[in-house]
Structure 1
Amino acid sequence: MLAQAAFFVLFVLAPVFNLLRYDLVAGHAWLLGFEWRAGLDDFSSGRIDALGALGRILGRVLLPILAAGALLIGVAWRWGRLYCGWLCPHFSVVETLNGLMRRASGKPSVWEPRTLPPREPDGRPVRQDARWWLVTVPLAVGFAFVWAVVLLTYLLPPFQVYGHLLALEPSRNEAIFIVAGTLLLSIEFLFARHLFCRYACAVGMFQSLAWMGNREAMVVGFERERAADCADCYSACDHVCPMRLKPRNIKRAMFTCTQCAQCVSACETTQQDNPAGSLLHWVSGSAARRNEAAFAPPRPPLKQERTLP
């Protein structure tokens, strides 16, 4: 939670301090407080040739992007979608609104087929009250407005954007961007939060593909031989998953797992009086391979060839 809150603050303040943004007015990017230019002005003025311009594009634009992407994919290949579960500002909105919507309707999403049990893994009651909609909907719209404004500051000078808003005099283009962004993000936050994470987010999808490509990557392992111990539980691990997955399932069915560890924590809580302990654990390496193999269906016996007498 602290990591998510800190990264959300970074997401909001990064343009203000020119840590990372592209300025459409100035025509160049900012990185860690310094101007970041592709260097094509020298090509336009004839100081460098086409080969030199190509080298600058590769060195100053493509290579940094590829390096950042390689780091993200490398982390995902070994540990899964850690960025999504522990840093992503969108996922922090997903978890916040899931909890509020559960209080308002008994379900973390409008698409959930059934209401969840009215208690937390530690036994605390979760009381459903429709008046929570009076908090949930305005907060979702508020998140959408903040996102729209912040995204705009990644493209225009932040002090210009915030100054216009404080004076209630945004430019026509700023107003169109903020209104359209708030409307679209409000719809997404209210109706398609985890669906976006599962099916539409390119950053999350590439992480999932890298993670699935490594059979020894870190994964939530389930002690299948102790499945009978789950009879005393109300599937708390399923109910707490923000992505609405089944944590005891095979890795292929957990393609979009964000490694948030809420299922592991829920299992530890519900099994705290069990001497054998939790049934869900983080596993990696050969243990991850064995965990997946435990779910593999038995192969049918090979048919023996019929011999003629």
Structure 2
Amino acid sequence: MFERNSGIPIDLGWVSRSCVNEQAVKGRIQDLLSSRFVHPDHQIDWLARSIQCIDLTTLAGDDCPSNVERLCSKAASPLSDNVIGSLGINHGLLTTGAVCVYPARVANACQGLKRIGTNIPVASVATGFPTGQTSLKIRIEEIKFAVKDGAKEIDIVINRELALGQKWGELYNELVEMRKACGESHMKSILAVGELCNLTNVYRASLVAMMAGSDFIKTSTGKETVNATLPIGLVMCRAIRAYNRKTGFKVGFKPAGGIRTSKDVIQWMTLMKEELGDEYLTPELFRIGASALLNDIERNIASHITGDYFLAEEMPMA
């Protein structure tokens, strides 16, 4: 295990000096997509590995104990028994990285996972998700509520007004308070990149979030017009790498929003491998926020094993 990111005093000089060459970013992504391929013989292994990095998510207004418990069952057994058997994986060894719900459903998720007998962590969105448009006091209380009910990971949203106004010191101070409220639970800071206007702001917000002690930085809530894209992911990965070189701390990365297909997830895993190394293909440092993705992965794995084509509705839904 690596040392948890404890954060550092904010370095406003480092933040203000940071700029992103957007054309260079686009060029790097084009190079990755055109020159890096996963051989078809290895794609199933990559897809099975990606399941371990999924934060299986439900964030719907009609969430209730029964559908959260169903989600927990799917997280503990993400592939059908015949597919698991064909892959040569013992039952119970392959699970998703976490189950992600609203704070009000954390207790339901913890109870559901306990009944199954799995130690999959529960992640909770918090701090006025998805907009963050509540007072800091209320945002802090929401974190404490989710932690008290058993959440081991807290996905907080940053204050976009402060980021857009380049008020990095104020943003840092808010995040430090949120990190304290998380206690032993890991904090994933959602940047809401689609609302930050440009890649330089994404890079700077990434640095500030890590300086404040974030265990992960996350692209999006999934509710913005623009969510996880590979150019944005590249910029955030470069910030993670720069922070690691300067501080020695490894910070995880979580793309979320719009990652729905097996092709999507292989592209993201390729980015992680190329930019941050094989260590970032593990759930300790890489998570994918998704709800529909697992269904597509199971379809592709089942098709590879049987040679048949499966419709989405033929797979057990999360």
Normalising by the residue count of structure 1, what TM-score does the alignment of the two structures yield? 0.23
**What is the TM-score of this pair, normalised by structure 2?**
0.22
